[in-house]
Amino acid sequence: MVVDVRVQNIHSRTMGHPAYDNTDFLDAALALAAQGGPAAVTVAAISARLKAPTGSFYHRFESRDALVARLWFDTVTAFQQGVRAALAAGDGLQAALHTPAWVRAHVDEARLLLLYHRDDFVHGEWPQALRDGLAEQAMSGEAAYAKFARDTFGRARAEELRIVQFVIAEVPVAAVRQHLYRREPPPPIVDDLIRTTYKAVIEGAKRAIKRPIRHRPAGPLP
């Protein structure tokens, strides 16, 4: 006999035994964080939003910090995928423009990720698996920036890496932040501002690198 899972879940909920999964708790935490910031994300608030018993929360997550750490990790991973794909294709401008595009499609996730630091949410120790994942992400990001710098400028010294970080990460985040405070999607002019800044900085850096260094003639010794 085949039982429709949807019917089974409906029956479970109507019988007073809601069928929650991890995603329900993560989505509830995301909504609370987007509305009220880190302080709004508590076990009690998450459970109340879902009308779930507290025990249902602890059946799935060791603690509030464990849930928020997972939410943060999943969000930053999803965001970085587009940036990394553009960098792998050698398209730095597209990597920079990924930020406003992603923010428009994921305003709540963007508020969580770009208005706060992860330490604002997680005050205890991160689970080891997530710490390892974050370390791997950081190494992968540094390697992607270094490759793009070498492909763009012919070298990847501290100066070139700083330029890449500025135009691909810092400028786009600064451009969307005020819109995130208002919980609104960034308007098209944000893309224009990012594009103009990117081209000016990258082209200026290229010209500076190509410009020969003029040595002043040695004067008489004092």
Q: What is the mean pLDDT of residues 198-211?
A: 92
Mean of per-residue pLDDT scores for the chain:
87
pLDDT of 131 reads 85
Q: What is the rounded CA–CA span in Å between residue 178 and residue 31?
A: 19
* 38 DSSP assignment: G
* Nearest alpha carbon to residue 193 among 110, 120, 111, 93: 93
- 161 token code pair: 């890496």
* Nearest alpha carbon to residue 40 among 53, 31, 51, 52: 31
Total count of residues recorded for the chain: 222
Which tens digit of pLDDT belongs to each residue from 8-42? 443 344 445 567 889 999 999 999 998 888 889 99
The answer to whether the pTM exceeds 0.75 is: yes
Q: 1-61, which class in CATH? A: mainly alpha
Domain extents in the chain: 1-61, 75-210
What's the pLDDT band for 122 if we cut at 50, 70, 90?
Answer: confident
Identity of the highest mean pLDDT range in 28-42, 62-76, 186-200: 186-200
